[in-house]
Amino acid sequence: MSAIHVPDLSLVVLVGISGSGKSTFAARHFGPFETVSSDFCRGMVANDPNDQQATAAAFDLLTDIVSRRLRVGLLTVVDATSLRPEDRAALVRLARENDVLPCAIVLDVPLQTALERHRTRTDRPFDESVLRKQHAQLRKGLSRIGREKFRGVTVLDSDEAIADARIERTPLRSDLRDRTGPFDIIGDVHGCLPELEQLLTELGYRVSADGTGARHPEGRTAVFVGDLVDRGPDSAGVLRLVMGMHAAGDALCVPGNHEAKLVRALDGRNVTLSHGLEATMAQLQRGTEAFRREVRDFADSLVAHLVLDEGRLVVAHAGLKEEFHNRASGRVREFALYGDTTGETDEFGLPVRLDWAADYRGDAMVVYGHVPSPRAEWVNNTLCLDTGCVFGGQLSALRYPEKEIVAVPAQKEWYPPVRPLDSSATGEANRPLRIDDVLGADAVETSRGGRIRVAPERAAAALATMSRFAMPPELLPYLPPTMAPAPTSHEEGYLEHPRTAFGYYAKRGLRVICEEKHMGSRAVALLVRPGAHVTAPAWAPQHTEADTRPGAAPYPDTSAVTEAEADTGGVLSSYVYTRTGRAFFADEEASARFAHGAAVIAEVAGLFDRLDSDWVLLDGEILPWNLKAQGLIDELYRPAAAAGLAETQAVGDALRRAEARGVRVLEREKTPDPTDVASPAASWTREQWEELSAFRAAVERYVDEAGEPQFAVFQVLASAGRTWHEEPHDWHLEVADSLVAAAGRSVSSGLAAHPPATGASATAAGPCTPLFLKTRRVVLDPADATQVEQAVDWWVDLTSSGGEGMVVKPLENSRAGRDPGRVQPGLKVRGKEYLRMIYGPDYDRPERLTGLRSRNLKHKQSLALREYALGLESLDRAVAGEPLHRVHLPVFAVLALESDPVDPRL
């Protein structure tokens, strides 16, 4: 008995009357969940597997289960009688809708056998006549079942045949997942034999002298994306070479629309000999009939798409959307050959690419051709390799898995372009992102923090913030994470103290760096080397040649709105943004001046050379505080102090007068100083007044109304092709120092510094303020008592002279700890007076401190770890050249987590 072959993704329809043994058969040959039975579905919807009235509902349920399984690529067996052709047709449709192959297995047992089985069963309370009727129905349809649209029909017409049957699952023809390469994928050749030979040579293949083969000494495999023929000088020669490579196992090939048409022409069908087909036919006519037959059979045998390398690579002539990968149906083939032709064309004239590649979100890389473009450009993990060789462009190949593009120029324009190679769509197709990119994902996979969940309501809040206030996604590769405070201190008079932070890292055996915490506003700056040509997103592969294409702007021209932006010509300028992704400076001119100034100094400091990059992403703090916080100061802090002082005066006055007439409002135990029996009112007032004055002083200390912005950099986040978070923090601060030094030199030489401030501040701030600011730091082993005491003293000095506090970080940065995802990347230890601003004027009263010490840091700490993991994830994805939506998601998630209503004082 030979095996019954079923494609390993298919819909298997069992056909047979009641009692023919379908369920037994299914149980023997398929997994317990692979079979969906109509009796089971009847039972589910009606409590009775024999209830014929429930058939419609049961079939709906069955359809739903089957569709869901097929959609995710699971072979499914339908166990129902499926006796009538129309029953089977419905299942065939279901398979086609899900682009899987339907096949039928008929259990044609003798009626007698079924009747005998029926008599022994107690769970089938229906009459034998039902079986007779079913049998007649089956027999009637059986003769024509071969004409139904199954991929294969097997009729098992005896008990023996059924007992002997063996099922063999066979991969689809497109399924070459076990071929892991390495590959060299080659774009549309269109008969350009000279260029093909040159490209193959460039790729390291040795082309045989007779032009019937080429082999790579390291055993690489060439993969042709189709359209080998038409228009070019020697389609026959190309076919000879590719067919030879194919036959020898040196090449794989998918068909293009031109091969499809060629097969029809060679079959003698009525096709118009145009678009270069006439030349191909003429060339073939000069050859032998045998060669023509060979060509016809070769082209006809090609599978429309190939899934390679464990499913990581898909090759199809016109591309393929994810739901069609490794599927088989007419429309999958149509798509692979002609692209997504249902959508409408837009002004760019390249609907195929825009329609599916822009929406493509799959993990598999899709490499294709079909649409000639000036150059091969990545769009969401897809690459079109048709660079119009035959039209005088280039013949391109992709080295896989190296992701390296190799191209040779056309020797000449072999064929006038059908239309000018449209360039304006390229680079554009990554944008805009799709709403499901951010609202559809309920979690982000990170390499350091695992799967990080984003609650829908947080995502909703983030969408509003992102859309209304943040910069466009292609300018935001990163948002800084929040940072947890050091574990609460129990030292007298302190809520936060360095010792708890040192203790945290000492316990984990980590050396630490204490960095001065500047009282400013968090800022991320993307600096572009002056004069360099960088387009947004800066982290994406940049094209080195000067590029003046009209459509290449980072975001398209908005000249109707702001004429200034039209002049940028697509070149990205340096920019700075806040921790929520907003432009740091409201005033565009101030922004440009600051960011450009910073970039000039970075160039003077040699930073771009040092990082071997035309851009760098820096994390830091911009001072003074009031630059961003003026509103907060004017509407919150100052009125709070003024109101508190006024209130204290009024209440104190009333209390004293009441006290004078013997009415004691303040009970004894509530007076701050129980020994001060003389006047609780007076002492109450005094204490309130002192605290509020200290509060006011704390606020005013950080205000510098005329101050020019200064940037204290503490981390180099990324530059072309790499991140820097694995470098120790002292390396980062050393880079920052080089910027400070260069800024100092620039001030003295008058280069790229702030222009002299006008008016009164000119004398106060000196002629110029350097643009970069130094971050003081101490490196120590937190397990060493002496070093800890010195660092504590350092912190006390820092904070008592007005410093906000410090941040303690593991020196080894993101490599710290055995389990890097679990170690806080930093802990802030804020100064006593700074905390007064946060917790209120009287926070350091012993009884208030006691209450505040019960603050719960767990959530904040968890948030800090999750946001840190997301931050690194977005940077890693960006520099790895991942699609914009993949970079944007973790950035968006940080914003979503930031909308968590955690106590903002932490």
Partner 1 sequence: MVRHTEAMFFSLTLRTDPAVADPAAADPAAAGTDAVATDAAEVPAAAAADAAAAEAVPTPDARDLGHLLHKHPDRVHEQKLAFGTARVFYPEADHDSCTAALWVEVDPVKLSQLSSFRRDSFSLSGYINDRKWAASSLLAVALRRVFSTAMAGTLTSRPALPRQEFALEATIAAVPAAQPEIAALFEPLGWEVDCDSEPATADTVTPQVTLRGRSTVQALLNQLYVLIPVLDGGKHYWVDESEIDKLLDRAGSWLGSHPQREPIMRRYLAEQRSYVRTARTRLDARVTERSEAAAPRSEGTGTPDSDGEPPTPAPLRARRLAAVLDAIRRLRPRTVVDLGCGEGALLGPLLDDPRMARVLGTDVSPSELERARRRLGLDRMPARKAARLELFQSSLGYVDDRIAGVDVAVLMEVIEHLDPADLTTAETTVFRHAAPDHVVVTTPNSDYNVLYPDLDGMRHPDHRFELSRAGFAAWAERICVEHGYVVDFHDVGDAHPDVGPPTQMAVFSRRFDEALRDDTQTEGAA
Which residues, numbered 223-252, are part of the site for partner 1 (CB under 8 A)? 227
Reference 481, options 516, 507, 449; nearest CA is 449
Reference 226, options 130, 333, 109, 125; nearest CA is 333
Helix (H, G, I), strand (E, B) or coil at 514: strand
**Which of 52, 558, 568, 748 is the binder for partner 1 (CB under 8 A)?**
558
Least CB distance to partner 1 at residue 222 (A): 19
Query: Which segments of 70-109 are extended strands (E)?
Result: 76-79, 101-107
> Should residue 323 be labelled a site residue for partner 1 when binding is judged by CB under 8 A?
no
Give 317 or 777: the residue with its C-beta nearer to partner 1.
Answer: 317
CA–CA separation, 401 vs 581, rounded Å?
A: 35
Least CB distance to partner 1 at residue 480 (A): 14
Residue tagged 């006038």 (tokens):
416
| Number of residues located near partner 1, criterion CB under 8 A | 107
Give 498 or 890: the residue with its C-beta nearer to partner 1.
Answer: 890
Least CB distance to partner 1 at residue 852 (A): 8
> Should residue 828 be labelled a site residue for partner 1 when binding is judged by CB under 8 A?
no
Spatial CB neighbours of 330, under 8 Å, sequence gap ≥ 6: 96
Give 1 or 273: the residue with its C-beta nearer to partner 1.
Answer: 273
Least CB distance to partner 1 at residue 230 (A): 9
Spatial CB neighbours of 92, under 8 Å, sequence gap ≥ 6: 13, 102, 148, 149, 150
> Should residue 175 be labelled a site residue for partner 1 when binding is judged by CB under 8 A?
no
Q: Which stretch binds partner 1 (CB under 8 A): 2-10, 195-203, 460-468, 760-768?
A: 460-468
Least CB distance to partner 1 at residue 655 (A): 8
Contact 740, 775 (CB under 8 A): no
Q: Which stretch binds partner 1 (CB under 8 A): 174-182, 320-328, 464-472, 599-607?
A: 464-472
Give 127 or 635: the residue with its C-beta nearer to partner 1.
Answer: 635
Give 40 or 348: the residue with its C-beta nearer to partner 1.
Answer: 348
* 80 phi, psi to nearest 5 deg: -145, 165
Least CB distance to partner 1 at residue 28 (A): 44
> Should residue 439 be labelled a site residue for partner 1 when binding is judged by CB under 8 A?
yes
CA–CA separation, 449 vs 872, rounded Å?
A: 10
Single-letter code of the amino acid located at 48: D
Give 516 or 691: the residue with its C-beta nearer to partner 1.
Answer: 691
Spatial CB neighbours of 663, under 8 Å, sequence gap ≥ 6: none
Token digits of residue 803: 């410093």
Residues 654-683 that bind partner 1 (CB under 8 A): 654-658, 661, 663-665, 670
**Which of 31, 110, 146, 349 is the binder for partner 1 (CB under 8 A)?**
349
Q: How many CA atoms lie within 13 A of 196 on its CB side?
A: 35
> Should residue 839 be labelled a site residue for partner 1 when binding is judged by CB under 8 A?
yes
CA–CA separation, 536 vs 534, rounded Å?
A: 7
Reference 307, options 294, 322, 296; nearest CA is 322
Single-letter code of the amino acid located at 11: L
> Should residue 271 be labelled a site residue for partner 1 when binding is judged by CB under 8 A?
no
Least CB distance to partner 1 at residue 430 (A): 12
Spatial CB neighbours of 261, under 8 Å, sequence gap ≥ 6: 271, 277
> Should residue 273 be labelled a site residue for partner 1 when binding is judged by CB under 8 A?
no
Give 370 or 725: the residue with its C-beta nearer to partner 1.
Answer: 370
CA–CA separation, 81 vs 581, rounded Å?
A: 61
Q: Which long-range contacts (CB under 8 A, 24 or more apart) does 648-656 make?
A: 648/685, 648/688, 648/689, 648/692, 649/685, 649/689, 651/685, 652/681, 652/682, 652/684, 652/685, 652/688, 652/689, 655/680, 655/681, 655/684, 655/685, 656/681, 656/682, 656/685
Least CB distance to partner 1 at residue 801 (A): 23
Helix (H, G, I), strand (E, B) or coil at 702: coil
> Should residue 445 be labelled a site residue for partner 1 when binding is judged by CB under 8 A?
no
Least CB distance to partner 1 at residue 376 (A): 14
Q: Which stretch binds partner 1 (CB under 8 A): 168-176, 209-217, 462-470, 595-603?
A: 462-470
> Should residue 561 be labelled a site residue for partner 1 when binding is judged by CB under 8 A?
yes
CA–CA separation, 276 vs 644, rounded Å?
A: 86
* 446 phi, psi to nearest 5 deg: -120, 150
Token digits of residue 764: 């106060």
Burial of 631 (0-12, 13-18, 19+ CB in 10 A): exposed
Least CB distance to partner 1 at residue 477 (A): 16
> Should residue 815 be labelled a site residue for partner 1 when binding is judged by CB under 8 A?
no
Least CB distance to partner 1 at residue 115 (A): 52
Q: DSSP readout, 268-282?
A: T------TTHHHHHH
> Should residue 634 be labelled a site residue for partner 1 when binding is judged by CB under 8 A?
yes
Give 399 or 845: the residue with its C-beta nearer to partner 1.
Answer: 845
Residues 399-438 that bind partner 1 (CB under 8 A): 418-419, 431-435, 437-438
Residues 467-526 that bind partner 1 (CB under 8 A): 467-468, 471-473
Least CB distance to partner 1 at residue 443 (A): 19
Residue tagged 């002083």 (tokens):
697
Least CB distance to partner 1 at residue 345 (A): 4
Give 341 or 800: the residue with its C-beta nearer to partner 1.
Answer: 341
